[in-house]
Amino acid sequence: MSELNPYDTFLDGRSLEAILGATADAIANLLAGMGSERTSQPPAPGKWSATEIVCHLADCEIVFGFRLRQTLAEDGPTIQPFDQDKWAASYRSIPAPEALQAFSALRKWNLRMIREALPGAAARPMTHPERGTMTFQTVVETMAGHDLNHLGQLRRIAGQNFSTAEA
């Protein structure tokens, strides 16, 4: 695991664009397989439900998009970290389809910007207060690894839900 990208171990050899472009459909398929009632059930005490994970992904898409745009617009900006647990306080009131719709729209918008920026902007630096100096490319890699991490969680939740339904 890289200190700059804690999600690099989730990368699976596919192109970053392929991963980023497939995530919204993968989420939609997983949610459809779970059903609306099950998406709101946490898999264990203290763990996020499928709905909360999708809300988190929508919020992260805002954060990643801002960080990337800030890096394109400024020379060596310092980006702002955020407390995901504090942001998650309102997630239980948001339906999964609404969160997925927000994520999908934001992802399309961010992918458009990423496609236009790379490879030329890959080495543009930014500073994360907790992780140090990163590049535009590192953030794109983080996005892809972050997607794969949470898709894995959603798959495990879907499997748990199906097992529970069959029992």
The answer as to whether 107 is a domain residue is yes
**Within a domain: residue 2?**
no
Q: Do the beta carbons of residue 102 and residue 109 sit within 8 Å?
A: no
In a domain, 42, yes or no: yes
CATH number at residue 133: 1.20.120.450
CA–CA separation, 85 and 108 (whole Å): 25
Residue 118 tokens, joined? 């790379």
**Dihedral sign for Cα atoms in the order 99, 101, 103, 106:** negative
- Domain residues for the domain of 84 are 14-166
**Residue 128 placed within a domain:** yes
- The tens digit of pLDDT for each residue in 35-85 reads 888 899 999 999 999 999 999 999 999 999 999 999 999 999 999 999 999
Tell me if 1 is assigned to some domain: no
CB 8 within 8 A of CB 2: yes
Confidence of residue 3 (pLDDT cuts 50, 70, 90): low
Q: What is the phi-psi region of residue 111: left when phi exceeds 0, alpha when psi lies from -120 to 50, beta otherwise?
A: alpha
Please give the DSSP secondary-structure letter assigned to residue 94: S
pLDDT for residue 2 is more than 70? no
Structural domains counted in the chain: 1
Report if residue 111 sits inside a domain: yes
**12-23 per-position pLDDT tens digit:** 889 999 999 999
pTM: 0.90
